[in-house]
Structure 1
Amino acid sequence: MGWNRKVLRVNLTAGTCTEEPLNMEWAQEYLGSRGLATKYLVEEIDPKVDPLSPENKMIMATGPLTGTMASTGGRYTVVTKGALTGAIACSNSGGFFGAELKFAGWDMVIFEGKSPKPVYLYIENDKAELRDAGHLWGKSCWETEETIKHELQDPLVRVSSIGSAGENQVLFACVVNDLHRAAGRSGVGAVMGSKNLKAVALRGTQGVSGIKDFGAFLQATTAAKKVLADNAVTGEGLPKYGTQVLMNVINEMGALPTRNHRDVQFEDAGKISAEAMHEKRPTDGKAHLVTNAACFGCTIACGRISEIDKGHFTVKNSPKYWGASGGLEYEAAWALGAANGVGDLEALQYANLICNEQGMDPISFGATIGAVMELYEMGVLTKEQIGIDAPFGSAEALARLVEMTANGEGFGKEIGLGSKRLCAKYGHPELSMSVKGQEFPAYDSRGVQGIGLAYATSNRGACHLRGYTIASEVLGIPVKTDPHATEGKPELVKAFQDATAVFDAAGICVFTSFAWTLADVQPQLAAACEGDWSMEKLNEVGERIWNMERRFNNAAGFTAADDNLPPRLTSEPAKSGPAKGMVNELSKMLPEYYKVRGWTPEGAPTAETLARLGL
Structure 2
Amino acid sequence: MGWNRKVLRVNLSAGTCTPEQLNMAWANDYLGSRGLASKYLISEIDPKVDPLSPDNKMIMATGPLTGTMASTGGRYTVVTKGALTNAIACSNSGGFFGAEMKFAGWDMIIFEGKSPKPVYLYVENDKAELRDAGHLWGKTCWETEETIKRLHQDPLIRVSSIGGAGENQVMFACIVNDLHRAAGRSGVGAVMGSKNLKAVAIRGTKGVSGIKDFPAFLAATNAAKKVLADNAVTGQGLPKYGTQVLMNVINEMGALPTRNHRDVQFEEAGKISAEAMHEKRPSDGKAQLVTNAACFGCTIACGRISKIDETHFSVKNSPKYWGASGGLEYEAAWALGAANGVGDLEALQYANLLCNEHGMDPISFGATVGAAMEMYETGILSKEQIGLDAPFGSAEALCQLVEMTAHGKGFGKELGLGSARLCAKYGHPELSMSVKGQEFPAYDSRGIQGMGLAYATSNRGACHLRGYTVASEVLGIPVKTDPLTTDGKPELVKAFQDATGIFDSAGICVFTSFAWTLADVQPQLQAACEGDWSMDKLNLVGERIWNMERQFNLAAGLSAKDDDLPPRLKTEPAKTGPAKGLVNGLDKMKPEYYKVRGWDSAGVPEQATLQRLGL
Q: TM-score range by the shorter chain?
A: over 0.9
Alignment partners' CA distance in 1, 2:604 and 2:229: 41
For each residue in 1:419-462, what CA deviation from the matched residue of structure 2 results, as whole angstroms up to 9, or x when unmatched? 00000110110000000000000000000000000000000000
What is the match of residue 430 of structure 2?
430
Q: Deviations over 1:468-497 (max 9, x none)?
A: 000000000000000011110000000000
Give me the whole-angstrom Cα distance separating, in 1, the residues matched to 2:474 and 2:222.
Answer: 29
| C-alpha distance in structure 1 between counterparts of 2:433 and 2:405, whole Å | 19
Alignment partners' CA distance in 2, 1:61 and 1:331:
24
Correspondence 1:305-324 to 2 at 5 A: 305-324=305-324
Q: What's the offset of the Cα at 1:229?
A: 0.1
Give unmatched runs, 5+ long, in structure 1: none
Q: 1:168-187, aligned counterparts within 5 Å?
A: 168-187=168-187
Cross-structure match for 1:120: 120
Number of the residue aligned with 1:31: 31
CA distance, structure 2, for counterparts of residue 583 and residue 118 of structure 1: 49
> Cα distance, 1:158 vs. partner?
0.3
Deviations 1:91-114 (A, max 9, x none): 000000000000000000000000
What is the aligned partner in structure 2 of residue 531 from structure 1? 531
In the aligned structure 2, how far is the partner of 1:313 from the partner of 1:19?
A: 51
Secondary structure at 1:516 match in 2 = coil
Q: Residue 129 of structure 2 aligns with which residue?
A: 129
Corresponding residue number in structure 2 for 1:375: 375
Count of paired positions: 615
Q: Structure 1, residues 568-612: CA drift from partner, whole Å, max 9, x if none?
A: 000000000000000000011000000000001000101110111
Residues in 1 aligned to 2:284 and 2:380: alpha-carbon distance in whole angstroms? 41
State how far apart, in whole Å, the 2-side matches of 1:83 and 1:440 are. 16
2:289 alignment counterpart: 289
For 2:20, the aligned partner's letter is E
Q: TM-score, normalised by structure 2?
A: 1.00
User: How far is 1:318 from its partner?
Assistant: 0.3
- 1:284 Cα offset (Å): 0.6
Tell me, in whole angstroms, the C-alpha distance in 2 between the residues paired with 1:541 and 1:587.
28
Hey, what does 1:555 align to over in structure 2?
Answer: 555
User: Could you tell me how far 1:303 is from its partner in structure 2?
Assistant: 0.1
* Aligned amino acid, residue 583 of structure 1: V
2:280 is aligned to 280
Structure-2 separation of matches of 1:89 and 1:408: 24
Determine the C-alpha separation between the residues in 2 that align with 1:509 and 1:255: 25
- 2:582 corresponds in structure 1 to 582
Could you tell me which residue of structure 1 aligns to residue 475 of structure 2?
A: 475
Cα RMSD of the aligned pairs, angstroms, is 0.2
Give the secondary-structure state (helix, strand or coil) at the position aligned to 2:120: strand
SS at match of 2:55: coil
Other-structure match for 1:522: 522
Give the counterpart letter for 1:538 in structure 2.
L
Partner SS, residue 109 of structure 1 = strand
Superposition deviation, residue 406 in structure 1: 1.0
- Report the counterpart of residue 223 of structure 2 in structure 1: 223
Aligned counterpart, 2:154? 154
Give the TM-score of the pair, scaled to structure 1: 1.00
* Mapped partners of 1:433, 1:102: distance in 2: 38
Amino acid at match of 2:157: V
Alignment of 1:60-459 (within 5 A): 60-459=60-459
Cα distance in structure 2, aligned partners of 1:309 and 1:485:
43
Secondary structure of 2:123's aligned partner:
strand
Q: Percent identity?
A: 87
The C-alpha deviation readout for 1:238-275, integer Å capped at 9, x for no partner, is 00000000000000000000000000000000000000
Taking the aligned partners of 2:407 and 2:605, their CA distance within structure 1 comes to 42
Q: For residues 600 and 47 of structure 1, what CA distance do their matches in structure 2 show? A: 21
What amino acid maps onto 1:607 in structure 2? Q
Query: Given residue 358 of structure 1, which amino acid in structure 2 is its aligned partner?
Result: H
SS at the partner of 2:224? helix
Looking at structure 1, the residues matched to 456 and 568 of structure 2 have their Cα atoms a distance apart, in angstroms, of 14
SS at match of 1:453: helix
| Superposed CA offset, 1:64-94 (max 9, x none) | 0000000000000000000000000000000
The secondary structure found in structure 2 opposite 1:600 is: coil
**Alpha-carbon separation, structure 1, partners of 2:14 and 2:408:** 30
Q: Which residue identity lines up with residue 387 of structure 1 in the other structure?
A: G
User: Residues of 1 paired with 2:478 and 2:36: CA distance?
Assistant: 27
Amino acid at match of 2:414: E
| CA displacement, residues 347-388 of structure 1 (integer Å, 9 cap, x when unaligned) | 000000000000000000000000000000001101100011
Q: Distance in 2 between matches of 1:447 and 1:428?
A: 25
* CA displacement 1:308-355 (0-9 Å, x = unmatched): 000000000000000000000000000000000000000000000000
2:43 and 2:67 map into 1 onto residues whose CA distance is 27
1:120 Cα shift? 0.1
Give secondary structure in 1 for the equivalent of 2:363. Answer: helix
Q: Distance in 1 between matches of 2:299 and 2:31?
A: 23
SS of 2:244 mapped into structure 1: helix
CA distance in 2, matches of 1:404, 1:113: 30
Report SS of the residue matched to 2:277: helix
